Amino acid sequence: MNRLWRWVPLLLAAVLVYVPMSGWKVLYGTEEGDNPAARTYGAEYRVPGFEWAVVLNPDGIRTSDVKLGFYDRCLMRYRGSVREITSHYSWYASLSRDTLVEYTAPPEAPAAGTLCPDGAVFLLPKAELDGFDGRFAEREAYEGQLAAEVQAALSAPRRGAAQVVEDSVHWVEAVNPDGLESFGYRIAFLDVCGIEAGGTVQAIQETAEGTLLAYIPATDASFRGIGIPCPANTVFFEHGPQRHYY
């Protein structure tokens, strides 16, 4: 009997690893779970800003240019939406305090690279979901004022020194009031794009929202399938103390 108890910690560790990883495919990968048409849905929530999620589609899911595998991460985008999935029977999700949801990208905003595509499935905390619609409404109401503040800052820039980006990719929300184009993709006001190593950022103006920065990519920048890259003259905010890119 004493020998048996010695194996309990090892068994618990195996369960903790197996259930969220390979075990999810066994528990969730039923005929109904693999057929989106068989799903039923509950409440729908609007996504109030970009944030990472863990892909739980058993066979992964494709964006326009890459395949996201099971347990890869992807980026939800502002103006996207998530719906509660109510027709699955996963023991893991039933025991979890989080809610299983399916994602829909913003209208006319196809996913590329790590940007979540339509049909991506993941778990989100219920408390976080409950706050989505309120945060979205607050942000939507503020969009016009924010665009005006950006336009005013761009018309009277106080440019600082250019700093070289060292991060391989740093995701930002573009606040160019008229939007941007990048490698055939449309980046709407407050949509997400990636600034990359070798490019430069330069402070334009200090505002109530934070430091407004402008980005210029490196001359050899190209589309690398990791998401939509920010094009030249992308402007975005850094909130709080200014980030050091060099």
pLDDT tens per residue across span 96-134: 688 999 999 999 898 999 999 999 999 999 999 999 999
Same domain, 74 and 111: yes
Counted domains in the chain: 2
How far is Cα 150 from Cα 138, in angstroms, rounded to an integer?
A: 18
Question: Is 231 a domain residue?
Answer: yes
Q: Which residue has the higher pLDDT, 50 or 12?
A: 50
How far is Cα 5 from Cα 235, in angstroms, rounded to an integer?
A: 59
Whether residue 147 has pLDDT greater than 60: yes
Cα angle value 144/149/150 (rounded, 5°): 100
Same domain, 171 and 230: yes
* Half-sphere exposure for 111 (CA within 13 Å, toward CB): 25
Tens-digit pLDDT profile for residues 9-25:
555 544 544 445 454 45
Question: Is 81 a domain residue?
Answer: yes
Cα angle value 73/78/81 (rounded, 5°): 80
- Decide if 206 contacts 239 (C-beta within 8 A): no
Domain that holds residue 168: 157-238
Per-residue confidence at 78, pLDDT binned at 50, 70, 90?
A: very high
Look at residues 134, 167, 190 and tell me which one is the last residue of a structural domain: 134
pLDDT recorded at residue 26? 45
Q: Which residue has the higher pLDDT, 47 or 32?
A: 47
Burial of 230 (0-12, 13-18, 19+ CB in 10 A): buried
**Identity of the amino acid at 126:** K
Tens-digit pLDDT profile for residues 184-224:
999 999 999 999 999 999 999 988 888 999 999 999 888 88
Same domain, 222 and 183: yes
Most confident of the ranges 21-30, 83-92, 173-182: 173-182
pLDDT recorded at residue 159? 84
Question: Is 152 a domain residue?
Answer: no
Q: What 3-state DSSP class applies to 13?
A: helix
Same domain, 75 and 122: yes
Whether residue 3 has pLDDT greater than 90: no
Same domain, 113 and 63: yes
Question: Is 145 a domain residue?
Answer: no
Same domain, 39 and 127: yes
